[in-house]
Amino acid sequence: MERISIDPITRLEGHGKIEIFLTPEGDVANTYFQVPELRGFERFCVGRPVEEVPVLTNRICGVCPEAHHMAGAKAADAVYHVDPPRTAKLLRELLYSAFFVTDHTTHFYALGGPDFVMGPDAPVAERNILGVIHKVGLEIGGKVIQARKYGHTIIEMIGGRKIHPCTSIPGGQTKGITEEQRQEIEKMGRWAVEFGQFSLKLFNDIVLGNQAYLDLILADTYTHKTYYIGLVDENNKVNFYDGKVSVVAPDGERIGKYAPSEYTDWIAERVEPWTYLKFPYLKKVGWKGFVDGKDSGVYCATPLSRLNAADGMATPLAQEEYERFFSTLGGKPVHQRLATHWARLIELLYAAERLVELATDPEITSDNYHTIPTETPTEGVGIVEAPRGTLTHHYWTDERGVTTKVNLVVGTTNNYAPISMSIKKAAQTLIKKGTVVNEGLLNMIEMAFRLYDPCLSCATHSLPGKMPLEVTIRDADGNPVEVLKQFC
Amino acid sequence: MSGNNGSGKPKFAMYWAASCGGCEIAVLNIHEKILDVDANFEVVFWPVAMDAKYKDVEAMPDGSILLTLFNGAIRNSENKHMAEVLRKKSQILVAFGSCANEGCMPALANLSSKQDLYDTVYDTISTENPDGVRPQTKWEVPEGELEIPEFYPVVRTLDQVVPVDYYIPGCPPESHQIAAVIDLVIQVLQGKAELPPAGSVIGAGTSTVCDECERTRNIKHIKEFTRIQNIEVDPELCLLEQGILCSGPATRSGCNALCPQAGAPCIGCYGPADDALDFGARLMSAVASVIDSKDPEEIDRILDGIPDPAGSFYRFNLAGSLLRASKSAWFGNGK
């Protein structure tokens, strides 16, 4: 069978490869999204002192180590049955809010945004962060760099390092912050709120104000009706750091909420022999293959999923935007995957507002940031929302607090099946008998997975932000007939 | 020093093998220095930032890239292939970051066999895999054959696969150190400085993390090891003196003692100190020298306070150490 190979794809979490098989008529028969690497953290994190695992698992991803450090620290708290002091939780969530501001900013301006700001079939040389800056003004480039710098400054103040933080331990934190640092953080947070509002206005003017883009968002090409999951607080508002995981069906009905310790009742993972990554799905619904709908256990865990799975946002400005989002797109849930870009900006605004709330809490500078665990360690689960999806760490230890087993269900992994489906649907819609496979078309396929914010996108903040692709069209004997490339 | 093939600027590449992406972020965190890289080099291959593909690199003349920063360890056949390609194409190949230098944490997998690792990952509590499916290098699907790289039995460092010219340690290397190295290379290009001797460690200090640490050190003698969560940590006093196993005495300086300053022990990410042949051996001897006892039973009791010697002494550098791997991993014979 004739095939199109996209190998390697870059700027996703690790390495990736796509195989598109064509029928003799030239339609798309099937697609495979393969992840060609494995490091095996679940094995080599065993036998380690449990307080080290949040530091070891940082190295799963140097783009979002904050997420692993937080999920790991919460799991380690649970292992020791210790509840950290309020100040420790505030500090962790403060670091985490700063991280979300930085991470979401980068994705919108460097990676996802250019498709909209410049247009999906804009000239390649313009469809990147530099093009965005050119179109909307140099001043915005400075703001993007500022947002990223502020984020890392706060992360280092609380986490000890800009990359791979080290201060969260069982029972709390190894250090607090001074009043002087608090004031600095508050100032940066207030700036970030304005930046969040500004970013939403930009999206409003450039994307929502353009009927062609609105049509693109609403198009069937990028629509999948799956289940959605996301962490919510006790009022069912979106929360990144703590709460229960809300699960909603494709019709929008909440079918349940699970506490971290109950995740194995809800989530299962499938192994396929042609890839190193597993495919999570909803256990109660079951694995029915790469299909959407209520009978398929495929779920999605993204900014869009979090908005769909919650009843609203816990901060006032983000709540207004949340309401506008659903009223504009025709109510809940929103299945149009390209709307994930908009949802990400609403989350950015929430993270900034939350940052200010936390930085102005009177207890944030308290030196009561650690509780010494007193109980015998056993087993514990920690869940946070990583920017790319719900992140679950589960540790078991012996009575000395040395790990005997580790299980991880990682952010981007949640979306492996939906990303695969989105690639297939985009390829099937766009590549038909007699289609000329050109650069613009390739970008439309890229957009199918770029919206999920594959992990390494964060790294591209200051550089041309597009997913490099190469498509080789091969004849039935595997000989290349034509090679298409995208270059800046 | 050339590498410009008469076409203007010398060529620069950066690649990741088995890695986390943190090294790339550390490079991007040099902020405006990135513009110096751009002004002085033509970036020809850097998957995180630009579009050149494997086959574009393969098509380049041998030795046409002046400088390649290679991060990530050698975990599978794709990593090894790219190490070989980039060695051929590069005049100067730098092992960049802990994974390429010494394996980093993922090399702790060298204590287990590949089968043990697969059995753990593909049969976890949340995995439903009644048929015991495992990834296969080649797999026939109805539409044709699919391929993924071969997973090797052990993690190797870059210089265990190809010759390496320089080493930049750190997990990740600190941005100010990266900026200093870039400045140096630009000065060499301008004829204002000489390259350091081949095989040197660059972008780091020559002493230990202890020398950079501002915590107060007295005479170190301890009666027991404890864990960081079990005590109220004194914010001023040396962590090792407080009984917390800290890798500072064996670890190369260069990070400004970031972790100890933040109240957490050094975990050794900058690799062995300048004169240490083996990181674990150096740290073990440092630890042995602070144990305040001559009674074998008491010494055993004190050492019981270190529950994971292999992980604690070889956390970042098992692949690069004298030990390298366990027998079962090396020979691939089961658990």
CA distance A210 to A205: 8
**pTM for this entry:** 0.93
CB-based contact A51 B228, cutoff 8 Å: yes
Cβ of A47 and B34 within 8 Å? no
**Given A51, A62, A460, which is nearest B23 (Cβ)?**
A62
Task: Name chain A contacts of B229, Cβ cutoff 8 Å.
Answer: 51, 80, 169-171, 370, 372-373
In this structure, are B170 and B142 located in the same domain? no
Residue A475's pLDDT is what?
Answer: 44
Under a CB-based contact definition with an 8 Å cutoff, are residues B99 and B106 in contact? yes
Cβ <8 Å between B50 and A463: yes
Which of A44, A269, A273 comes nearest B106 by C-beta? A44
Q: Is the pLDDT of residue A469 over 50?
A: no
Of A38, A48, A463, the CB nearest to B311: A48
Q: Which of A19, A33, A39, A456 to mutate to test the interface with B (most CBs of B within 10 A)?
A: A39
Length of chain B: 335
Q: Comparing A475 with B178, which gets the higher pLDDT?
A: B178
- What whole-number percentage of chain A has pLDDT above 90? 63
Give the one of B78, B109, B308 whose C-beta lies nearest to A40's C-beta. B109
ipTM, 2 decimals? 0.94
Least CB-CB distance to B106: which of A29, A59, A65? A59
Residue A216 pLDDT: 84
Contact A3 B143 (CB under 8 A): yes
> Which of B186, B210, B152 minimizes the C-alpha distance to B17?
B152
Q: How many angstroms separate the Cα of A436 from the Cα of each of A31, A430, A439, A441, B162?
A: 18, 10, 10, 9, 42
Q: Which of B15, B25, B29 to mutate to test the interface with A (most CBs of A within 10 A)?
A: B25
User: For residue B53, what pLDDT is reported?
Assistant: 65
| Cβ–Cβ under 8 Å, residues B105 and A57 | no
The residues that bridge with B43 in the sheet, in sequence order, are B12
Q: Quick one: B161 and B217 in the same domain?
A: no
From the list B25, B52, B227, which residue is nearest A459 (CB)?
B25
What is the spatial distance between Cα A81 and Cα A90, in angstroms, rounded to a whole number? Answer: 19
Q: Do B136 and A287 touch (CB under 8 A)?
A: no
Tell me: pLDDT of B319 over 70.
yes
Chain A residue numbers with beta carbons less than 8 Å from the beta carbon of B334 are none
Q: Are residues B68 and B148 in the same domain?
A: no
Same-domain check for residues B268 and B258: yes
- Convert the pLDDT of each residue in B258-268 to its tens digit: 999 999 999 99
Taking the CA of residue A6 and the nearest CA in chain B, the distance in Å comes to: 11
Q: Is residue B194 part of a domain?
A: no
Query: Which of the residue ranges A404-418, B47-61, B118-132, B165-179 would you say has the lowest mean pLDDT?
Result: B47-61
Report the amino acid identity of residue A333: P
Test B124 with A269 for CB contact under 8 angstroms.
yes
Q: What is the pLDDT of residue A481?
A: 44
Cβ–Cβ gap A276/B151 under 8 Å: yes
CA distance B72 to chain A (A): 11
Inter-chain touch A456–B21, beta carbons under 8 Å: yes
For residue A303, give the nearest of A89, A59, A103 by alpha carbon: A103
Which of A166, A285, A457 is the best residue to mutate to test the B interface, defined by the most B CB atoms within 10 Å of its own CB? A166
Same-domain check for residues B238 and B297:
yes
Domain hosting residue B128, numbered range? 111-152
Which residue of A51, A174, A375 is the best one to mutate when testing the B interface, meaning the one whose CB has the most B CBs within 10 A?
A174
User: B18, B128, B307: which is closest to A40 by C-alpha?
Assistant: B18
- Contact state of B135 with A270 under an 8 Å Cβ cutoff: no
Q: For residue B101, give how far its alpha carbon lies from the nearest alpha carbon of chain A (Å).
A: 15
* Gap from A386 CA to chain B (nearest CA, Å): 16
How many structural domains are present in chain B?
3
In a domain, B222, yes or no: yes
Q: What is the CATH number of the domain that holds B179?
A: 3.40.50.700
Smallest Cα distance from A316 to chain B, Å: 33
Residue of chain B whose Cα is closest to the Cα of A165: B259
Contacting residues of A for B237, CB less than 8 Å apart: none
Lowest-pLDDT range, A260-264, A477-481, B247-251? Answer: A477-481
CA A35 – CA A41 distance, rounded (Å) = 16
Q: Out of B25, B47, B144, whose CB is closest to A10?
A: B47
**Among A18, A23, A25, A24, which Cα is nearest to A4's?**
A18
Q: Do B259 and A166 touch (CB under 8 A)?
A: yes
Q: Could you read off the pLDDT of A299-342 as tens digits, one per residue?
A: 999 999 999 999 999 999 999 999 999 999 999 999 999 899 99
Residues of chain A found within 8 Å of residue B108, distances taken between Cβ atoms? 44
Cα–Cα distances in angstroms (integers) from residue B295 to residues B93, B223, B292, B302, in the given order = 50, 12, 9, 11
Interface contact flag, A61 B108, Cβ < 8 Å: no
The reply to whether B219 and B257 lie within a common domain is yes
What digits encode the pLDDT tens for the residues A340-387? 999 999 999 999 999 999 999 999 999 999 999 999 999 999 999 999
Phi, psi at residue A20, to the nearest 5°? -110, 120
The reported pLDDT for the residue numbered A47 is 97
Q: Would you list the DSSP string of A352-373?
A: HHHHHHHHT-GGGG-S--B---
d(CA B199, nearest CA chain A) in Å: 27
Upper half-sphere CA count for residue A234 (Cβ side, 13 Å) = 0
* CB-CB neighbors (< 8 A) of A47 in chain B: 111, 308, 310-311
In this prediction, residue A455 carries a pLDDT of 57
Give the closest-approach CA distance of A285 to chain B in angstroms: 13
Q: What is the mean pLDDT of chain B?
A: 91
Same domain, residue pair B27 and B96: yes
Give the best residue of B51, B54, B122, B328 to mutate against chain A (max A CB count within 10 A).
B51
Contact (CB<8Å) B18/A37: yes
Reported as a single tens digit per residue, the pLDDT across A262-273 is 999 999 999 999
Of B53 and B291, which is predicted with more confidence? B291
Q: Beta strands of B226-313 (E only): which ranges? A: none
Instruction: Map out the domains of chain A as residue ranges.
Output: 3-37+417-485
Question: Are B75 and A271 inside 8 Å of each other by CB?
Answer: no
Contact A459 B149 (CB under 8 A): no
Mind telling me how many Å the CA of B140 is from chain A's nearest CA? 9
Same domain as B172, residue B68: yes
Name the pLDDT band for A467 (thresholds 50, 70, 90).
Answer: very low
Question: Same structural domain for residues B162 and B46?
Answer: yes
Residues B52, B170 within the same domain: yes
Q: Which residue of A has its CA nearest to B111?
A: A44
Nearest by CB to residue B20, choosing from A42, A62, A464, is A62
B92 plus B139 within the same structural domain: no
Same domain, B127 and B26: no
B178 contact partners, CB below 8 Å, separation of at least 6? B26, B27, B30, B33, B168, B203
Query: Over 50: is that where the pLDDT of A296 sits?
Result: yes
Distance CA A390, CA A94 (A): 18
What mean pLDDT comes out for the span B37-59? 77
